[in-house]
Structure 1
């Protein structure tokens, strides 16, 4: 396959949803069973967005997942053509680096890893990420409003981008840009988005799904029907109680 014909991989980094082990920072307000359910909805909706890009051509969808042995359950949330790539060991940085390296070693022209907590991530942001990698060797990165990032993409593995990063802090995005400058790697910064990982961002999701477009949104939010159905069921249940 010629380099120009190779696809760009877009993979969700995720843990197969399990009550008591998934999205635990959302409890409260959610129950542990609801945390696992909404995690499944997030993956399902984001995978559908990636699947739409794959259908248009030039993109291959997938998941960089854990734990090994949960493939059958995870497959139920993904388009049938998605590839499954097991996560490696170590901290998040080590797992991101290995996931990207594995996707590139499989022959893809670029590899983008997306977090599993942004079900309404705009289609346009993912399109821009793919286009940036098609233009040459660079780091493409989507800042999150909490100081992290929603996605990162590369055309070659660069381990330094993931070293000595205090994960789950508001310094992640800035330090990743610093690492890119340190190794002379151009950075393409995409429009910002957000992760749903606590009560405050769950409230932001509820408002967004009710039609209140986030103030930071440049591109239109992607529809997330599975997540929307969960939020509406939960709201109806609370009202009935």
Structure 2
């Protein structure tokens, strides 16, 4: 984030690769939130993590949580605490489901927001095994 911000000042959005319903409107909302004065924006995932971290400027505390928490259900809460501790203005985006488990895949198949090109790769037989 620091390097990207140095090369291209302005908001930086870090997105996960496992949130298949993340659409352009949420990316636009995140960037707009940052341009309108928030220091950070988080996109919460249903599993307790997040699919997006947006920063108006580098804030090392955002990614400074206990390394043992990464990948678990406490990532979002720990990151929110970090933001609170460094006293920055932040907001949350709508919650999305990310794709970590066969149960997530099954739930995503029922989500009308799932792009068809991704749904084609989440065939029910593979989801259930």
TM-score interval w.r.t. the shorter chain?
0.7 to 0.9
Match of 1:127 in 2: 28
1:84-124 CA distances to partner (integer Å, 9 max, x unpaired)?
Answer: xxxxxxxxxxxxxxxx2222111131100110001111332
Secondary structure of the structure 2 residue equivalent to 1:142: strand
Please list, as runs of the form range in 1=range in 2, the aligned pairs for 1:75-94 lying within 5 A after superposition.
none
Distance 1:118 1:108 in 2: 26
Match of 2:70 in 1: 167
CA RMSD of aligned residues (A): 1.9
Q: Contact 2:38/2:91 (CA < 8 Å) preserved in 1? A: no
Q: Extract unaligned runs of 5+ from structure 2.
A: none
Secondary structure of the structure 2 residue equivalent to 1:230: coil
Secondary structure of the structure 1 residue equivalent to 2:46: coil
Q: Contact 2:38/2:90 (CA < 8 Å) preserved in 1? A: no
1:135-192 CA distances to partner (integer Å, 9 max, x unpaired)?
Answer: 1351110111111111001011111121133111111111111101111111111110
Deviation >6 Å, runs of 4+ = none
Distance 1:108 1:194 in 2: 30
Match of 2:101 in 1: 198
TM-score (norm 2): 0.85
Larger Rg: 1
Secondary structure of the structure 1 residue equivalent to 2:121: helix
Q: Extract unaligned runs of 5+ from structure 1.
A: 1-99, 212-220
Matched, 1:145 2:49: no
Distance 2:62 2:97 in 1: 21
Quick one: higher RCO (CA 8 Å, sep 6+), 1 or 2?
Answer: 2
